[in-house]
A and B are shown apart, each in its own frame.
Chain A
Amino acid sequence: MEFHKLPPVKDQIMKCVRCGKCRSVCPVFAEIRNETAAPRGHVFMVQMLRDGKVEPNNDVNERLSNCLMCENCSVNCPSGIDIHELNAAARSYIYDKNPSLSKELIFDSLWTRPGLLKASSKFMWGAQKSGLQSLARHLGLTSILPGDLSKAEKILASVPRQSARSFLPEYNPARGEKKYRIAYFLGCGTDLLNPQVARATVDVLTHYGCEVIIPRDMKCCGLPHIANGKMDTARKLAVHNIKIFNNGDYDYIVTDCASCSSALSSKNMEFLLGGLKIEDEAIAFSQKVMDLTQFLMEKLELKLPGKEVDDRIKVTYHDPCHLANAQGIKKAPRELLKQIPEVEYIEMGEANRCCGGSGTYSLTHYDLSMRILDKKMDSAMETAAAVIATCCPSCMMQLRHGVQRHKWNATVMHPVELLSQSLKQTPAKK
């Protein structure tokens, strides 16, 4: 859809009263501290772009890309402006006008073709020996990554040898009495970087009577594309996924990845596909999408039998922005963790402060991302927890890097891994 006709561009820009509330909650602004990085600055620049007062060029793009897409501004804006959507729409517009600003290879080819992505992750794994520089050159990553790739390399340091898809079957029968037929939306980050989370998800869901199908032909949720100004590609991916999942007669579409569930949410579908013919199908699809922890707590009404555990592990929780801000899901993951008998839950200060990862942001803006991460680590380390739990592969990657960077003896896990481990120790009876 044309930039000027997109609902946030058409209807919301004029509602900005420049009150500055968004300045006070933006993690990027807190570091850069000038108006060019303030959310209201982004709204202003998108307005200038809309009104033709600035050219849709890389200079504008660079300023707008000082954003983690964490949505903290949008949830706090008194005028109800979806600031992050405006930003994404503007960057996409700039991209459309400047094909030469291409991130073509990585975003158009890689993420849209699971086979290629899988191959490249293997390559990435191999590249830990050869160095990221040469890998990046092969993948065309050099066009988006900063010069000093040796720094960013550390974040990507531990790509597992096997992807989840390579060992999880497409069909996973329910154990015991079948309650629901579930499509598992296995996101790229879980698949490639955290296959152990995917295994835990399937184990837990089947354990609680879900038949779990992992459609082989699903594609990326499209969030990396939106965040990097590739809305058209994101739209194509959404349409593809909607078709596949709507054909499958599933009760729910569950994902353990906060970014995926936010990308597949009705809010985001409306942003991407609002006003298009496919809108109704998109709504039917997104109504079935659920975050895993929310599904476990609300649909399966999970209740673990209490038991005496001598050495409980201290666990703290980090709110992924795409879960807490984009979807308002804060309670379910905490309740889940508190139910696990082996877990001693400790809340960290400012748990919903962004970790600075945000998909590719930590790669494209390494130094700034580290400043944001360090603040997160300060709060996390204060808890002296042994495990930082979180529900997003991008946060997991970033937090793991934080743990290393601060030489802290802690592990980063998805809550479902802890649940799965607990179930293995004591088979739960419902």
Chain B
Amino acid sequence: MDKDKIKKALIEMLGKEKVLSEELDLMYYSYDSSFLTKLEPSSPLAVVFPRSTEEVQNIASFAFENNVDIVPRGAGTGETGGCIAIKGGIVLDLSTWDEIVEIDAPNMQVIVRPGVIHAQLNKELSKYNLFFPPDPGSSQMCTIGGMVANNASGLRAVKYGCTEQYILGLEVVLPNGEVITTGGVKAKCIKNVSGLNLTKLMVGSEGILGIVTRIRLRCWPRPKARGIAMAVFDELDDAPAAVLDVYQAGILPSGIEILDRSAIDAVNQFKPEINLPQAEAILLFEVDGNPPSVEYEGSLIKEVVGKRARSIEWATEPKRMAELWEGRSITATAAARVRADASRVFAGEDISVPLARVADTLRAIRALGDKYGIKVVNYGHIGDGNVHTAPVINPENPEEVKKVMEMVHEIHLLAIAMEGSTTGEHGVGAVRRQYAELEHGRAAQLMRDIKRVFDPLGIMNPGKLI
């Protein structure tokens, strides 16, 4: 269909203030946080800002009738180009549709529209002593819709898991404009095994099956106390071994983070006053719960980890906890600043490997950095083997870009070879799709078949995930 006709129809449908169609405006929707869209930005045909299920249905029906691609978008903080109309198409910016419909505290759940910001939701829930545990680093900016679509998680996934564990039901507009409710049309219950689990299918489907318009989320009671231990290791292998020791002592910390040598150097270089000890690795354990159990678990971690670590410190006092955590909280920023004429790039940034192979993986990534002559900073959620790799290059130098892309490909293959995955939490999008067969074998084809059932015309966020 002709571009101008699409624009005209959308304006008629939604009103002028809910449609962007000027070329210049559309350019702003050619990127998300991925390195890919920095290299290859791609403008949509139009951007719309629906704020009701009916409006989303109308847009989908129109797209279906006219065979136009549609791409849902939250805050555009995804690292994979997931919300970009890479083949043109209509982008549905859902970030302005941000009502918290109902906080149902007695039933420990909350109903939200897709555009609610994660941090905002937890701020509101805190008034009821509740929280939604997955905690991505992008909490201040990302939307719950985006988190559902990417099955996002964060530092505390070790104990609290990913978004999928908290989604009780969804309202989804299908690519033909029909609307379905998963998890029971009227259900308000927490446990529910009736029917095929379409909720789980939708969570993590990255907007390729439908548009999520309403989310019923399970909330948990807020823990009352926290404590943090920082352990310093002279041998890299001791770090994952210490994590295992902690698990075997019967403790499930809320977070276990690693900074390897490269990250320690980056932090010290960026903020010398933090003065992290020189070491092969630093681990941070976070424990939460009720005050006596936190104290008990803290002392046990100190004892168990102390056997392998050069030193270990345990703190529950807020100021000291913040100081211990500061190195970790600025690592991503520090990585970006290790080279004055360069930047970190979000590529190959999210591999996940079995716990027992974390040390080997880190060594292999270091070797790849040396091979390509690229500075690489490593940190991540070691508690579940999710390693964040930050290559630091000049992204405007084509030579360096070419080299980093080759290295990133090797990192992805390394993850699969280590019996891991190319992505632990950020998702596949347009950047990791090529590994589908390698990661999933025959199942990859079945995934495509499932997509076809939902989206026979292939208009729903094409070119992503599978």
Contacts and interface: CB of A to CB of B under 8 A. Distances in A.
B333 A78 contact: yes
Contacts of B333: 78-79
A35 B117 contact: no
Contact of B343 (A17, A20, A44, A45): A17
Given A14-B395, A34-B47, A54 B24 contact: yes
Interface in A329-376: none
A236 interface: no
Nearest to B343: A15
B345 A17 contact: yes
Contacts of A379: none
Contact of B336 (A33, A54, A78): A78
Interface in A364-417: none
A178 B38 CA distance: 59
B53 to A, nearest CB: 20
A130 interface: no
Interface in A48-88: 48, 53-54, 59-60, 63, 78-80
Contacts of A63: 24-25
Contacts of B22: 59
Interface in A5-49: 11, 14-21, 23-24, 33-36, 38, 41, 44-45, 48
Interface in B19-56: 20, 22, 24-25, 27-29, 31-34, 37-38, 47, 49
A263 B342 CA distance: 29
A20 B95 CA distance: 13
B435 interface: no
A353 to B, nearest CB: 15
Most buried by B among A20, A63, A79: A20
Contacts of A44: 27-28, 31
A20 B141 contact: yes
Nearest to A60: B24
Contact of A21 (B28, B141, B346): B141
Nearest to B334: A78
A172 B22 CA distance: 58
Contacts of A21: 140-141
B28 A45 contact: yes
B139 to A, nearest CB: 9
A67 to B, nearest CB: 14
Nearest to B75: A20
B173 interface: no
A56 to B, nearest CB: 12
Contact of B49 (A11, A14, A34): A34
Nearest to B333: A78
B27 A54 contact: yes
B25 A36 contact: yes
A368 to B, nearest CB: 14
Contacts of A53: 27
A18 B32 contact: yes
B343 A79 contact: yes
A346 B110 CA distance: 35
B28 A33 contact: no
Nearest to B336: A79
Contact of A20 (B138, B336, B345, B394): B138
A78 B395 CA distance: 17
Contact of B31 (A18, A24, A33, A60): A18
Contacts of B142: 20
Contacts of A19: 33, 77, 138, 141
Contacts of B340: 11
Contacts of A41: 28
Contacts of B31: 18, 44
Contact of A33 (B25, B76, B95, B337): B95
B93 interface: yes
Given A48-B27, A79-B343, A23 B141 contact: yes
A356 B412 CA distance: 47
Contact of A36 (B20, B117, B342): B20
B332 interface: yes
Contacts of B269: none
B65 interface: no
Contacts of A36: 20, 25, 28
Given A11-B341, A17-B343, A24 B117 contact: yes
11 contacts: A14-B342, A16-B343, A17-B336, A18-B38, A19-B33, A21-B141, A23-B75, A33-B96, A35-B93, A54-B24, A79-B333
Given A19-B77, A78-B336, 17 more contacts: A11-B340, A14-B396, A17-B336, A17-B345, A18-B32, A21-B140, A21-B141, A23-B75, A33-B95, A34-B20, A35-B93, A36-B20, A41-B28, A44-B31, A45-B27, A53-B27, A54-B24
